[in-house]
Amino acid sequence: MLSLRLEELEEYGLIGRTVSTARPLRIKYALTKLGTDVIPVMYAAAEFSMKNFPEEVFQDGKSRTPLQIAREIRESQ
């Protein structure tokens, strides 16, 4: 499943793939410029979901902002 997703992301130009010729064979993936450009869009979609569909995102069903999530993470460490 992972390899299929990576292939799709590469086809869409969101990631690039580099194959080393050394042994053992290694494949590295990295975000392209297009991939980095989509990061703010993904954050906005996540924020929208946390605000408007918390019952689908969080076990307790309570809405949160990204700032609240960061605070919760810091407090749990």
- Write out pLDDT tens, residues 10-38: 999 999 999 998 899 999 999 999 999 99
Cis peptide before 54 (omega within 30 of 0): no
> What does the pLDDT look like over 39-68, one tens digit per residue?
999 999 999 999 999 999 999 999 999 899
Per domain, the residue ranges of the chain are 2-36, 39-76
pTM (predicted TM-score): 0.68
Residue 71 tokens, joined: 């605070």
Between the CA of residue 49 and those of 29, 38, 61, 70, what are the distances in Å? 28, 17, 12, 16
